[in-house]
């Protein structure tokens, strides 16, 4: 089931991935350190399984400061009745668990960005060991993969579900069908420029039906966005045929981010004032943000203007901004 | 003009508080430290003055991670035309400047919460020295005081302007008139239980017309809340008679927080799911938040239920919560 | 019941100290900080009460890296049947709770050593606020006080129970009777030279029967020393007449530390080799420890020799030692 | 004498490894950093050599918080008379010197666990450079290798000497003979499951007679365990024929750790209470430890029960424990 | 000999201040902390005493990153022959010892600036305890006091010796005579504006002959400035009549700093370019420094111009500068 | 123009390297981190270009605490008139920009020493990505390369310009001609022993005319050394034929560092006293530095004596020194 040419993973699961019923357990990853010579990282995992049927892998906490996914998945793991399931649901609600516990995008252990660490290494850092286990032991079991993201502490997004434009158009079509089933307020077709190390790509290269989300941000979760996540996860399982019934319908707006002109970057440090709110329309040349110098009063702010027309789908979240930070993202409606 | 029984403040202003015109400068606060033997903290200050008239003191950055105030005030300091002013506007857009530069509630130098440091001390910590200067050199000059707050990185608020219930009913009435002039979407009558060390109290005890705000939170600012702040500041100056014209009208809802039952505190660590969004109505006994254990899947969350009916005016912002954190605040409409 | 000339404590108990039955709750201490604008420290407290009878206050975690007390007291709080109690048992198993959670002697919040912070201040640091609450709201209720200590991470002790030599010989006699009832392997008569800020002194000055312990150290707890703590706590309650029955007898050796010559301090940094183990006899002039230079091989160690005869009751625990650290303590048997 | 296909080590020894007599010096490892542009790590080394005979390499401080080895070896380096030696004794009393100076298991420079860094790299981290030098320049010279370990700050062990079960039974037999000569109170046959990066394996793969120890722990050293280390080192040299005379005899108990069931891991954070002490007997199913929740009183602890019968050979040392930490280790007597 | 109305100092000297001969010892200051429950700070002290005569107190390391004083005084303590002394020389070569060991201006323990901590407190911070001991136990013994300073890591000075303009002109005259005897290349008459907490003032208020120095800076010492310090210390002792012989003569230039216009402060962060070197002449209006913005190329630097004519006596040392830092100091020749 | 067999650099320049005129912009290096999910490092770059002619690459801030280069190059970037240029001048005034902003030798992001990171990696650390971009996109464009260095915070140097002894004697001769044109007070022929990872070697291996400098140190810049840097940069451009006119002449002394005996390393921690100043002559066996023990008075310092005759060209800068630090460097005059 996994590539045996490599060293086996040091991770020891405390659940049996092939057993029926509900199991709550851990992926135990040995981690020797000053604070614990024979310590481990204990990554929660739940397996809900019932007889034959496809396998869905649901993941949250790929980045540790994004909460809609973990909230929906801890809830689902606790409440999903195996009697209503045909197949297997593997839930990793907090995949980069050290990052999730710290409330940070990356792991406090090794600063690893899990979503840039695939396919990982069994003898690498803690983050690389997690990636390797998912790559070699979990992904091969899955037919459907849903990886939850939000903006995290430093970005805020309009809530959307997305899949990638792929070379294999059959696979792509299936993925966009799953996006439609998820039924987020917005749906996005993404063309990945730099796929290096992404979980998305790892799943797609194995031919899995892979979808992802951005459901808010700021390092918090709103009641509205958690509801989107919870309904989307159930819709995804229904769409996959693992849970019976039709996905619950919901209106969605399809968006596209066609070019680099979608993104505006700061060229100075300062205090940012985003002039419009998420979802607001914008025309090319409009003032969308200003960076105010903070060393003294009386200085003019630096203007950031839209490089294309569309609507604001993402923005820098914290009040202070650094040169090089992404200030805003614009998308266009697909008609 | 100030209490001469104490040691003079070590702070040296680079502006003349009594000169007409526009001045942009600093309060230079000597601060010797390992990184600079003869260093200082340079707190930006602007003075816009024109002939006779009352004096308004406008302050932001009392807490360093609240941005509507600084955004409105840096802007006002740069754009207010002294030709349109009758009197004096003193602007401290980032009053606890070290905290503001760090993007933190308290000062990174001494962990001082400026709003709990009044009346301050000329020979105290950096934060206490700032409080002392404001207390003895700026507040005595002011007739009207507006201190901007928002929720900061760890709380989120419905946008409101507020004043305190005071013993002096004439002073109180004037303050609530100023709140009405500010014209935020919500207006709050606050009964301060624990006034120790607050800037509010320092101003009120000198008989000043003092109003304050909570205009959002999360350590960010939205375009909508910045507009509220900017309009509110101008309305306040118009109301004070410093800027000509009537305050721009706006609809407001008056709220009250009558008792301790408004506040719900967490009794466990975990991941918080607030079940309703800000402004939503709530009945006593409703589930308003759940704290999910994060150590493993399958455990029941801890329910937090409303202790009174009303609407949600504030909530814990970050996805993770600690025992003892305020989870939610409920207010009631004043009819 | 408490000194009303001072500002009231900001601490809010969630238990009713005057109610019968078993209550598990918190002392909620408001603590605003960057990580939580409206946060609190939640100090666990249990009250087991049944009708009339004396009151015992049992405290652990005065220093946060000492575990025999917390282990015995969390256990006692969970298992003590109010039906077997006549009077009141107030249990604070982790009195300096922030230190206890960090596993450190002092509070990570303010570096406060709780045992040097009495009588505390209601407007002081977090540690001073805890001291003040114990001083003004808990100690006055108590007749008997038992405060558990061990050596913590940097010292190791022979297990003993102790009381102070007091001016009030009746009070002193009662305290030593309680020490005898505790029945630790060793019992110590302590003459406090520098009592400033100690919890012991605060209790003794109110006329309470106060005993304390040192039950091991190194930042760990052994099964043997936890048994001593658990039996000692029950013996103390029996001796106080709160729990029925006679204290369980146990052999004890009485010790005295008559002078400064008991203590040896390091005058160099290095790696320490204690030449004898705890409880071993030693004669004046014996080599009791050596400090090895660690910068290179071939250098002679610095010898530390006993300044009096007796037995080794305490020693520096970590392998490395700094100039100024207490290397060893000798006591003499009281015959 | 070393693999010349690689880049030479950057380490410069200040001693001549081929010269007779006693030399005290350093392995100077260039280490450029912010605090010293042209700095180095200076690892103490001693060479005691006299004419013909075998070579023993004695190492301590492989982990920096284990003290029996360094105490015995700094002492031996200072006192071993070359006139009593036939052959060469190379002593590295603090092999991972940066870790030793910090008193931590791993290096504060790069968090390197030296015992998982072999064979190292000449162009790697500081820890990898140390491993590489030992691998290519010191190990090839040695016939006998003794590497001292203890439990460090987070584990505590019954004192034992050990060697590995090896494919080469002749080599294995010689190693166990050396273990017997060392004469620790306990002797262990170890079957290494995961040998990746270990110094042990590096030595064994070169065919060296390699033994190791665990002689206590907790980040301290007791007089009794230091005596075991000191006698063991001399016995090892006598056994090797480098120092004249027979090893000093001592009674030992042989132990085996036959399976994974020896190890118990924590699945929750909390305060640990180990119910038995090191060396105590235990039966399968016995309660060997409890993890007490520390957030409030009144909650039941999590029980840890023995998964096999035997005696307790190791335990978690600090009072607090994290999910994933090894709580206890059981071994069985070899009859 | 000292104010007995206060609590005694907790500091225990290991030397007898009243004994003849040479003594090398410590001021042991008990300092309980997480890293050492019963630890102390050990401040080196040397006493060289011989029969009758005045007492000189020589201090270095008042700020921990200034080295001319410690270098001269460790050397003097080791080499001064009591046979050549009439009276007493008390040497504290590293008065704020924790700061000195850390190489920082202030104490790493409490961030205390010793030279702003007088008269100190016996129950205060570590730094305040040192000040209190010097204030109450050492200063009263002294007739002459020499306190060495240099610029530390963040300032650089022309080498000078200085005394204060005092109300008591007899005392002032004696101090300037001692400055002249010291014979540094430059000599300065200082008018202290803000004397709060200074060691200087503490000594002067007791009527002592007090002189001080600034002998370079940058956190280093040059061979030339160490020679000035060493000669100056001996000259001071000769001038005091404690060491026989005449002070060694040396040419000096007397300087004055008549007003605030001597000092230029930075109003922006950036990289500083000081346009002239120490000792160079400057005319009012000259460009003496430029602060280059570091965020991008092509921006104009901020010019700092001399506010008076004179010569450059001090400058900001590090390459980067912060708003509020003192950029340069100008003094005028006294003719 | 660059090796296309590798992954392209993730760095996006905001300037067109092939356009005429003056451009001020950035190398934008995407850097996702906890503080900015979609953040970047913005490295300032300036391009001054005019028609045909050679290309010079001028770099400062290779180490972030060396200021003569950045001061000369920010100034040059701002003032160089393209009308006076024939060819292209590419200026990276702060090449390891994160280190430069932190004022540290290495990058605070990854502790990368840029000058040991060549040829870099497009998928490596931030420092390796900078090296890779310079290696593959900038160096290939250059004919002449000048990389500015100084001693940084921990070393101080006599001001010199240098080039390496090379196998290609034609290339070497051209480099030394450029050194002569630079006209620093001292000029050095360097024989590189360990060239691994150096920018110098990367440039030389491509056949570029490469020169470098050491122009002072201590983490500051003096007016005199900045003048040397500024004149040297212009001389270099004149020598390259990019700027018209002859290099401004200046007297230089040629030096050589013939062997390891040039370097003295500390073998103990302590306070260093360098007995002679930079440029002073020294004879083999002379005392050049002493390391004073700082734990107590009365101990003899450790003497460091010259291992060869010459003059002092570099020394340890900070007052404290660690075992392993380079204490001093001696060079010999080339006659």
pLDDT truncated to tens, each residue of chain B (335 aa)? Answer: 445 567 899 999 999 999 999 999 999 999 999 999 999 999 999 999 998 899 999 999 999 999 999 999 999 999 999 999 999 999 999 999 999 999 999 999 999 999 999 999 999 999 999 999 999 999 999 999 999 999 999 999 999 999 999 999 999 999 999 999 999 999 999 987 778 899 999 999 999 999 999 999 999 999 999 999 999 999 999 999 999 999 999 999 999 998 899 999 999 999 999 999 999 999 999 999 999 999 999 999 999 999 999 999 999 999 999 999 999 999 999 97
Judge if E149 and E55 occupy the same domain: yes
Q: Which of A255, A280, A297 is the last residue of a domain?
A: A255
Is the residue at F5 inside a domain? no
Give the E-side interface with C, CB within 8 Å.
7, 10, 26, 28-29, 31-42, 123
Nearest C-alpha in C relative to B328? C38
Structure-token pair, residue E125: 């911070």
Judge if D186 and D117 occupy the same domain: yes
Mind giving me the DSSP string for F298-321? SPPPEEEE-SS-EEEEEEE-SSEE
How many Cβ pairs closer than 8 A exist between chain A and E?
8
Pairing state between β F160-164 and F209-214: antiparallel
Q: Which of A209, A236, A255 is the last residue of a domain?
A: A255
Is the residue at C2 inside a domain? no
Is the residue at A2 inside a domain? no
Judge if F183 and F283 occupy the same domain: no
SS3 content of chain B, % helix, strand, coil (to 5): 25, 30, 45
For residue D323, the distance in angstroms to the closest alpha carbon of chain A comes to 7
CB contact under 8 A, F106 and D33: yes
Which of E295, E297, E298, E321 is the best mutation test for A, with the most CBs of A within 10 A? Answer: E295
Is pLDDT of F286 > 80? Answer: yes
Beta strands in B134-185 (DSSP E): 144-147, 155-157, 160-164
Nearest to A112 by CA among A31, A46, A14, A26: A31
Is the residue at B7 inside a domain? no
Which pLDDT does position D3 carry in this prediction? 55
Which residue in the block uniquely carries the two structure tokens 């505190």?
B265
Judge if A223 and A293 occupy the same domain: no
Compute and round to an integer the Cα radius of gyration of chain F.
Answer: 21
Judge if B223 and B274 occupy the same domain: no
Give the E-side interface with A, CB within 8 Å.
267-269, 295-296, 323
Kindly indicate the confidence band of residue C238, based on its pLDDT and cuts at 50, 70 and 90.
Answer: very high
Q: What is the pLDDT of residues F117-135, one digit of tens each?
A: 999 999 999 999 999 999 9
Structure-token pair, residue A105: 């995008």
Beta strands in A224-308 (DSSP E): 253-256, 263-265, 270-274, 281-282, 287-292, 302-305
Which pLDDT does position C1 carry in this prediction? 45
CATH code for the domain in which residue F165 is found = 3.40.630.10
Kindly indicate the confidence band of residue C60, based on its pLDDT and cuts at 50, 70 and 90.
Answer: very high
Judge if C121 and C215 occupy the same domain: yes
Residues from chain D that touch A29, judged by Cβ atoms under 8 A, are 324
Report the mean per-residue pLDDT for chain D.
Answer: 96
> d(Cα F271, Cα D121) in Å, to the nearest integer?
34
For residue E36, the distance in angstroms to the closest alpha carbon of chain F comes to 18
Nearest to B131 by CA among B48, B209, B35, B201: B201
**Apex CA D248: angle with CA D246 and CA D254, to 5°?**
115
**Residue among F268, F295, F323 minimizing CB distance to C268:** F295
Judge if E33 and E112 occupy the same domain: yes
Q: What is the pLDDT of residues A55-74, one digit of tens each?
A: 999 999 999 999 999 999 99
Segments forming the whole domain that contains residue C205: 12-254
Judge if F178 and F264 occupy the same domain: no
| The CA-based dihedral angle spanning residues A165, A169, A175, A180, taken in that order and rounded to the nearest 10 degrees | 90
Buried residues in F218-241 as b, exposed as e (16+ CB within 10 A): bbbbbbebbebbbbbbbbbbbbbe
Length of chain F (residues): 335
Number of independent structural domains in chain C:
2
**Residues ≥6 apart with Cβ < 8 Å to D250:** D183, D184, D185, D231
> How many other C-beta atoms lie within 10 A of the C-beta of residue C108?
15
Judge if F173 and F218 occupy the same domain: yes
Helix runs in chain A, H state only: 68-79, 97-102, 126-133, 169-182, 199-205, 223-239
**Residue among B152, B267, B322 minimizing CB distance to C37:** B152
- Residues of chain A short of pLDDT 70, as ranges, are 1-5
Task: List, in sequence order, every residue forming a beta bridge with C21; answer none if it has no partner.
Answer: C49
CB contact under 8 A, F325 and D38: yes
Judge if E275 and E312 occupy the same domain: yes
**Residues ≥6 apart with Cβ < 8 Å to D94:** C294, D43, D44, D60, D61, D64, D70, D100, D101
Which residue in the block uniquely carries the two structure tokens 């305190």?
B164
Neighbors of chain D with 3 or more C-beta pairs under 8 Å: A, B, C, F
* Per-residue CA distances from D78 to C266, C300, D59, D101, D237 (Å): 21, 8, 15, 19, 16
Nearest C-alpha in C relative to E10? C194
Contact by Cβ (8 Å): F265, F324? yes
Is the residue at F3 inside a domain? no
What phi and psi, each to the nearest 5 degrees, are found at residue A202? -55, -45
**Residue among F38, F41, F123 minimizing CB distance to A326:** F38
Percent of chain F with pLDDT over 90: 94
> d(Cα E146, Cα C176) in Å, to the nearest integer?
54
Burial class (CB in 10 A: 0-12, 13-18, 19+), C79: exposed
**Apex CA C298: angle with CA C293 and CA C303, to 5°?**
50
**Residue among B7, B31, B37 minimizing CB distance to E105:** B37
Is the residue at B6 inside a domain? no
Judge if B151 and B227 occupy the same domain: yes
Which of B265, B291, B294, B295 is the best mutation test for D, with the most CBs of D within 10 A? Answer: B295
Nearest C-alpha in C relative to D222? C277
Residues from chain F that touch D34, judged by Cβ atoms under 8 A, are 65, 104-106, 153
Structure-token pair, residue E210: 């007090």
**Residues ≥6 apart with Cβ < 8 Å to C12:** C27, C28, C30
For residue C83, the distance in angstroms to the closest alpha carbon of chain E comes to 40
Nearest C-alpha in A relative to D194? A10
CATH code for the domain in which residue F321 is found = 2.40.50.100
> d(Cα B104, Cα B3) in Å, to the nearest integer?
31
Residues from chain E that touch C326, judged by Cβ atoms under 8 A, are 36-39
Which pLDDT does position C4 carry in this prediction? 52
Judge if E199 and E233 occupy the same domain: yes
Is pLDDT of F5 > 70? Answer: no
Q: What is the pLDDT of residues F233-282, one digit of tens each?
A: 999 999 999 999 999 999 999 999 988 999 999 999 999 999 999 999 99
**Residue among F10, F37, F39 minimizing CB distance to A324:** F39
**Apex CA B207: angle with CA B204 and CA B209, to 5°?**
70
How many Cβ pairs closer than 8 A exist between chain B and D?
8
For residue C154, the distance in angstroms to the closest alpha carbon of chain F comes to 22
Which pLDDT does position A3 carry in this prediction? 55
Is the residue at D1 inside a domain? no
Is pLDDT of E1 > 80? Answer: no
Q: Which of F237, F255, F273 is the last residue of a domain?
A: F255
Number of H helices, E strands in chain E: 6, 19
CB contact under 8 A, F317 and E220: yes
The arithmetic mean of pLDDT across residues D60-70, rounded, is 98
Kindly indicate the confidence band of residue F60, based on its pLDDT and cuts at 50, 70 and 90.
Answer: very high
> d(Cα F167, Cα A280) in Å, to the nearest integer?
65
Instruction: Check residue A8 and report its DSSP letter.
Output: P
**Residue among F7, F32, F123 minimizing CB distance to A113:** F32
Is the residue at E161 inside a domain? yes
CB contact under 8 A, A32 and D155: no
């Amino acid at each position: 089931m996994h590539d045996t040419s490599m060293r086996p993973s040091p991770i020891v699961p405390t659940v049996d991935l092939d057993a029926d019923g509900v199991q709550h357990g851990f992926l135990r990853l040995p981690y020797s350190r000053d604070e614990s010579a024979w310590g481990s990282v204990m990554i929660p995992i739940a397996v809900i399984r019932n007889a034959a049927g496809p396998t869905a892998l649901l993941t949250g906490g790929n980045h540790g400061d994004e909460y809609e996914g973990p909230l929906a998945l801890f809830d689902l793991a606790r409440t999903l009745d195996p009697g209503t399931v045909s197949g297997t649901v593997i839930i990793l609600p907090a995949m980069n668990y050290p990052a999730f516990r710290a409330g940070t995008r990356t792991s406090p252990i090794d600063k690893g960005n899990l979503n840039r660490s695939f396919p990982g290494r069994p003898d690498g850092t803690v983050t690389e060991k997690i990636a390797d286990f998912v790559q070699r032991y979990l992904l091969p079991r899955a037919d459907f993969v849903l990886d939850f993201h939000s903006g995290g502490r430093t970005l805020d997004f309009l809530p959307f579900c997305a899949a990638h434009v792929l070379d294999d158009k059959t696979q792509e079509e299936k993925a966009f069908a799953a996006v439609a089933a998820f039924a987020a307020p917005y749906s996005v077709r993404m063309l990945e420029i730099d796929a290096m190390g992404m979980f998305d790509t790892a799943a797609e290269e194995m031919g899995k039906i892979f979808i992802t989300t951005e459901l808010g941000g700021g390092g918090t979760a709103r009641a509205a966005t958690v509801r989107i996540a919870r309904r989307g996860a159930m819709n995804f399982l229904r769409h996959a045929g693992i849970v019976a019934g039709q996905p619950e319908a919901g209106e969605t707006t399809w968006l596209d981010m066609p070019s680099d002109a979608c993104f505006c970057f700061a060229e100075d440090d300062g205090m940012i004032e985003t002039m419009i709110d998420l979802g607001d329309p914008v025309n090319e040349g409009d003032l969308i943000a200003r960076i105010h110098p903070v060393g003294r009063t009386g200085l003019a702010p630096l203007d950031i203007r839209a490089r294309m027309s569309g609507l604001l789908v993402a923005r820098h979240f914290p009040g202070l901004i650094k040169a090089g930070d992404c200030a805003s993202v614009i998308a266009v409606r697909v008609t």
